[in-house]
Amino acid sequence: MIVLIPAYEPDQRLVDLVDGLRGAGQAVVVVDDGSGPAYAPVFQAVRDLGGTVLTHPVNRGKGAALKTGFRSTREDVVCADADGQHRVEDILRVADHVRRTGRTTLGVRRFTGPVPLRSSAGNALTRVVFAAVTGSRIQDTQTGLRGYPASELAWLLDVPGDRFEYEMRALLLATRHGHSIDQVPIATVYLEHNASSHFRPLIDSARVYAPLLRFSASSMLAGAVDAVALFAVYAATGALLPSVLAARAVSSTTNFAVNRHLVFKERTATLATSARRYWALVVTLALVNYLVLAGLTAAGLPLLPAKLATDAVLFAVSYLTQHRFVFGSPGTAPSQVAYSPARLDERVTNSS
């Protein structure tokens, strides 16, 4: 088991963390992500404590640094941050859980006490959106304390992304590929209102949310196409069933192409397999859509609000099914997410 710490322009807190981990007998690998000569004394102190330091000549991002660390070992790995937010005891707790269970493990914060608003609000929003599009409840989607069994390392190297978005993509793909995820509660620590964080709210939030936003954007596009086609055909025919079927044929074709090539880019099912599954879903949802629309309009609700209500209900069903079944590999099961109650001089120049 190693503790992997990506570090960009770290301070004494990294040295203190490595000191504590080494004192507990834990092997440590630190990746200097292009911090530059000014930070050489910090990394030398890590070496003096017995830690291994791998170096990127230039800054390449947290995801790239994690991948460099994954390539350096065949052991179980616990990833931790260099800014003092993860206590030694919490890191060791996650490491022990991975060692005992052989499962991916997240150290999840409770967000109690003095927590910066941008951190608590951002995590709450991401948690809700993540649950809506994956069906998996992750208490802390943005945690940097994550433990991985050695068997997961090759898969993690294939996850796209080199910066802060990498960790979100790893979670999204883990849920779609049926990887088991455990959650262990840890302390919520923010030092000086998280002033040492290199996370850029606008640029890096866009990177983190991009995988989630693509789900919603694709659905909105399909919904718009479906609505235009529905009203156009209904205005020409005055018949609800042909209008629903024609609109769904146009919008679903658009949605399948967008989802396959832009949303679920890391697909594992073949085109033929995903197409069969997708159209089976389309037929099922079209029938449900018609029955619900017919019932609502028969009850006196105008077509537009009936359409909006129906789409809202079917949105989650459609995306959960596509995420877990349509574009996944045959036989892939939903991920199992468990929450465990708390008890208290090597240079790397190859590209990722």
Judgement on whether residues 46 and 174 belong to the same structural domain of the protein: yes
Q: Among 64, 60, 54, 66, which residue's Cα sits nearest to residue 30?
A: 54
- 214/198 Cα distance (integer angstroms): 25
Q: How many domains does the chain have?
A: 2
Judgement on whether residues 264 and 189 belong to the same structural domain of the protein: no
Contact 242, 233 (CB under 8 A): yes
Tell me if 277 is assigned to some domain: yes
Contact 77, 69 (CB under 8 A): yes
Question: DSSP per residue over 160-183, as a string?
Answer: --SSTHHHHHHHHHHHHTT--EEE
- 43/146 Cα distance (integer angstroms): 22
Judgement on whether residues 176 and 257 belong to the same structural domain of the protein: no
- Residue 342 DSSP class: P
Helix (H) or strand (E) holding 17: helix 12-23
Contact 281, 322 (CB under 8 A): yes
Global pTM? 0.66
- 198/9 Cα distance (integer angstroms): 9
Judgement on whether residues 165 and 25 belong to the same structural domain of the protein: yes
Judgement on whether residues 221 and 206 belong to the same structural domain of the protein: no
Judgement on whether residues 272 and 283 belong to the same structural domain of the protein: yes
- 38/10 Cα distance (integer angstroms): 10
- 164/142 Cα distance (integer angstroms): 9
Tell me if 352 is assigned to some domain: no
Judgement on whether residues 206 and 108 belong to the same structural domain of the protein: yes
- 46/34 Cα distance (integer angstroms): 16
- 279/99 Cα distance (integer angstroms): 42
What is the chain's pLDDT, residue by residue, as a tens digit (352 residues)?
A: 999 999 999 999 999 999 999 999 999 999 999 999 999 999 999 999 999 999 999 999 999 999 999 999 999 999 999 988 899 999 999 999 999 999 999 999 875 555 554 555 556 666 776 776 667 788 888 889 999 999 999 999 998 888 878 888 888 888 877 788 999 998 876 544 444 444 454 454 555 566 557 767 887 888 899 899 999 999 999 998 899 889 878 888 888 888 887 776 655 567 888 888 888 888 888 888 888 888 888 988 888 888 888 887 787 677 767 766 777 654 444 445 565 554 434 333 333 3
Judgement on whether residues 10 and 28 belong to the same structural domain of the protein: yes
Which residue pairs, CB below 8 angstroms and at least 24 apart, start in 14-18? Answer: 14/42, 14/46, 14/82, 14/83, 15/42, 15/45, 15/46, 15/49, 16/84, 17/80, 17/82, 17/84, 17/86, 17/88, 18/45, 18/46, 18/49, 18/51
Say whether 319 sits in a helix, a strand or coil. helix
Please report the pLDDT score of residue 311 as a whole number: 80
Judgement on whether residues 171 and 98 belong to the same structural domain of the protein: yes
Q: How far is CA 291 from the centre of its chain?
A: 35
Judgement on whether residues 109 and 229 belong to the same structural domain of the protein: no
Q: How many CA atoms lie within 13 A of 275 on its CB side?
A: 6
Strands 337-339, 181-186: pairing kind: parallel
Judgement on whether residues 157 and 242 belong to the same structural domain of the protein: no
For residue 318, the enclosing domain spans 211-326
Beta strand ranges found along the chain (DSSP E): 2-7, 27-33, 52-56, 77-79, 104-109, 146-148, 181-186, 337-339, 346-347
Strands 77-79, 146-148: pairing kind: antiparallel
